Amino acid sequence: MRLSRKSEYGLRALLELTKAYDQVALRRSDIAEAQHVPVGFLETILLELKRAGILGSRPGVQGGYRLIKPPEDVSVGQVIRILDGPLAPIPCVSRTAYQTCQDCPYSEARNCPIQNVMFDVRNAIAGVLDGYTLRAFYDRDRKSSSPKISQTSRK
Protein backbone atom coordinates (compact mmCIF):
# COMPACT_ATOMS: atom_id res chain seq x y z
CA MET A 1 0.00 0.00 0.00
CA ARG A 2 1.24 3.45 -0.88
CA LEU A 3 -0.31 6.57 0.64
CA SER A 4 -1.60 8.84 -2.12
CA ARG A 5 -1.20 12.63 -2.12
CA LYS A 6 -4.94 12.82 -1.65
CA SER A 7 -4.82 10.87 1.62
CA GLU A 8 -1.66 12.65 2.74
CA TYR A 9 -3.25 16.06 2.20
CA GLY A 10 -6.51 14.86 3.76
CA LEU A 11 -4.73 13.72 6.91
CA ARG A 12 -2.77 16.96 7.10
CA ALA A 13 -6.00 18.95 6.80
CA LEU A 14 -7.57 16.80 9.50
CA LEU A 15 -4.65 17.60 11.81
CA GLU A 16 -5.62 21.28 11.53
CA LEU A 17 -9.30 20.52 12.01
CA THR A 18 -8.55 18.33 15.03
CA LYS A 19 -6.54 21.17 16.54
CA ALA A 20 -9.58 23.46 16.15
CA TYR A 21 -12.16 20.84 17.21
CA ASP A 22 -14.97 22.38 19.28
CA GLN A 23 -13.55 25.87 18.70
CA VAL A 24 -13.97 27.50 15.30
CA ALA A 25 -14.63 26.53 11.71
CA LEU A 26 -11.55 26.83 9.51
CA ARG A 27 -11.52 28.30 6.03
CA ARG A 28 -10.03 26.01 3.42
CA SER A 29 -7.47 28.69 2.53
CA ASP A 30 -6.26 28.75 6.15
CA ILE A 31 -6.00 24.96 6.25
CA ALA A 32 -4.15 24.95 2.92
CA GLU A 33 -1.70 27.60 4.08
CA ALA A 34 -1.01 25.96 7.45
CA GLN A 35 -0.42 22.54 5.89
CA HIS A 36 1.13 23.62 2.55
CA VAL A 37 -1.62 21.97 0.51
CA PRO A 38 -2.93 23.29 -2.85
CA VAL A 39 -6.31 24.97 -2.17
CA GLY A 40 -8.06 23.57 -5.25
CA PHE A 41 -7.08 19.99 -4.47
CA LEU A 42 -7.94 20.49 -0.81
CA GLU A 43 -11.49 21.56 -1.68
CA THR A 44 -12.11 18.22 -3.41
CA ILE A 45 -10.76 16.34 -0.41
CA LEU A 46 -12.80 18.34 2.09
CA LEU A 47 -15.98 17.75 0.09
CA GLU A 48 -15.35 13.98 0.09
CA LEU A 49 -14.85 14.01 3.84
CA LYS A 50 -18.02 16.06 4.21
CA ARG A 51 -20.03 13.58 2.10
CA ALA A 52 -18.68 10.79 4.32
CA GLY A 53 -20.05 12.54 7.42
CA ILE A 54 -16.73 13.45 9.03
CA LEU A 55 -16.82 17.18 8.26
CA GLY A 56 -19.47 19.82 8.21
CA SER A 57 -19.28 23.23 6.58
CA ARG A 58 -20.94 26.58 6.87
CA PRO A 59 -20.80 29.41 4.32
CA GLY A 60 -20.16 33.03 5.12
CA VAL A 61 -17.69 35.20 6.97
CA GLN A 62 -17.74 32.98 10.07
CA GLY A 63 -17.95 29.86 7.91
CA GLY A 64 -15.54 27.14 7.06
CA TYR A 65 -15.03 23.47 7.77
CA ARG A 66 -15.13 21.67 11.08
CA LEU A 67 -15.05 18.12 12.35
CA ILE A 68 -18.57 16.98 13.17
CA LYS A 69 -17.43 13.63 14.53
CA PRO A 70 -15.25 13.59 17.63
CA PRO A 71 -11.60 13.01 16.69
CA GLU A 72 -11.62 9.98 18.99
CA ASP A 73 -14.25 8.35 16.74
CA VAL A 74 -12.46 8.67 13.39
CA SER A 75 -9.56 6.39 12.53
CA VAL A 76 -6.75 7.13 10.11
CA GLY A 77 -7.70 3.91 8.29
CA GLN A 78 -11.26 5.16 7.86
CA VAL A 79 -10.01 8.41 6.31
CA ILE A 80 -7.71 6.59 3.89
CA ARG A 81 -10.53 4.26 2.85
CA ILE A 82 -12.78 7.27 2.18
CA LEU A 83 -10.17 9.04 0.07
CA ASP A 84 -8.35 6.13 -1.59
CA GLY A 85 -10.51 3.04 -1.25
CA PRO A 86 -9.61 -0.31 0.30
CA LEU A 87 -6.38 -0.86 2.21
CA ALA A 88 -5.99 -4.38 0.81
CA PRO A 89 -3.11 -4.91 -1.63
CA ILE A 90 -5.27 -7.23 -3.80
CA PRO A 91 -9.06 -7.20 -4.25
CA CYS A 92 -9.68 -10.76 -3.05
CA VAL A 93 -8.59 -9.90 0.51
CA SER A 94 -10.49 -6.65 0.89
CA ARG A 95 -13.13 -6.44 3.62
CA THR A 96 -14.80 -3.40 2.07
CA ALA A 97 -14.49 -4.08 -1.67
CA TYR A 98 -13.99 -7.82 -2.10
CA GLN A 99 -13.65 -9.08 -5.67
CA THR A 100 -12.37 -12.37 -6.99
CA CYS A 101 -9.15 -12.00 -8.89
CA GLN A 102 -9.53 -12.41 -12.64
CA ASP A 103 -7.94 -15.52 -14.13
CA CYS A 104 -7.02 -16.87 -10.68
CA PRO A 105 -6.72 -20.67 -10.77
CA TYR A 106 -7.25 -20.77 -7.00
CA SER A 107 -10.46 -18.70 -6.81
CA GLU A 108 -12.76 -21.72 -6.37
CA ALA A 109 -10.52 -23.70 -4.01
CA ARG A 110 -9.76 -20.75 -1.68
CA ASN A 111 -6.21 -21.94 -1.10
CA CYS A 112 -4.27 -19.28 -2.97
CA PRO A 113 -0.73 -18.90 -1.56
CA ILE A 114 -0.67 -15.22 -2.58
CA GLN A 115 -4.02 -14.57 -0.94
CA ASN A 116 -2.86 -16.15 2.33
CA VAL A 117 0.09 -13.77 2.59
CA MET A 118 -1.93 -10.75 1.42
CA PHE A 119 -4.50 -11.40 4.17
CA ASP A 120 -1.69 -10.97 6.67
CA VAL A 121 -0.49 -7.82 4.91
CA ARG A 122 -4.00 -6.35 4.86
CA ASN A 123 -4.56 -7.19 8.52
CA ALA A 124 -1.24 -5.64 9.54
CA ILE A 125 -1.90 -2.41 7.62
CA ALA A 126 -5.49 -2.15 8.85
CA GLY A 127 -4.42 -2.96 12.41
CA VAL A 128 -2.03 -0.02 12.51
CA LEU A 129 -4.14 2.51 10.61
CA ASP A 130 -7.40 1.61 12.35
CA GLY A 131 -5.59 1.76 15.68
CA TYR A 132 -4.90 5.48 15.32
CA THR A 133 -7.76 7.89 15.82
CA LEU A 134 -7.47 11.48 14.64
CA ARG A 135 -6.96 12.47 18.29
CA ALA A 136 -4.07 10.02 18.73
CA PHE A 137 -2.64 11.07 15.35
CA TYR A 138 -2.82 14.73 16.39
CA ASP A 139 -1.33 14.05 19.84
CA ARG A 140 1.53 12.09 18.30
CA ASP A 141 2.20 14.90 15.81
CA ARG A 142 2.16 17.48 18.60
CA LYS A 143 4.68 15.48 20.66
CA SER A 144 7.03 15.03 17.71
CA SER A 145 6.78 18.76 16.91
CA SER A 146 7.66 19.90 20.42
CA PRO A 147 11.18 21.20 20.94
CA LYS A 148 13.63 18.60 22.17
CA ILE A 149 15.60 19.35 25.33
CA SER A 150 19.20 18.34 24.95
CA GLN A 151 21.37 17.23 27.84
CA THR A 152 23.45 20.41 27.63
CA SER A 153 20.43 22.74 27.71
CA ARG A 154 19.18 21.22 30.98
CA LYS A 155 22.06 22.69 33.00
- What is each CA distance from 26 to 13, 34, 79, in whole angstroms? 10, 11, 19
Structural fold of domain 1-73+134-150: Arc Repressor Mutant, subunit A (1.10.10)
- What is each CA distance from 105 to 33, 44, 120, in whole angstroms? 51, 40, 21
> Domains of the chain: which residue ranges?
1-73+134-150, 75-132
Q: Rounded to an integer, what distance in angstroms lies between the CA atom of residue 27 and that of residue 32?
A: 9
Instruction: Please check the confidence at residue 150 and state whether its pLDDT lies above 50.
Output: no
Percent of the chain whose pLDDT exceeds 70? 86
**pLDDT for 102-133, tens place per residue?**
677 766 656 778 888 888 998 999 999 999 99
Closest CA to 49 of 7, 71, 82: 82
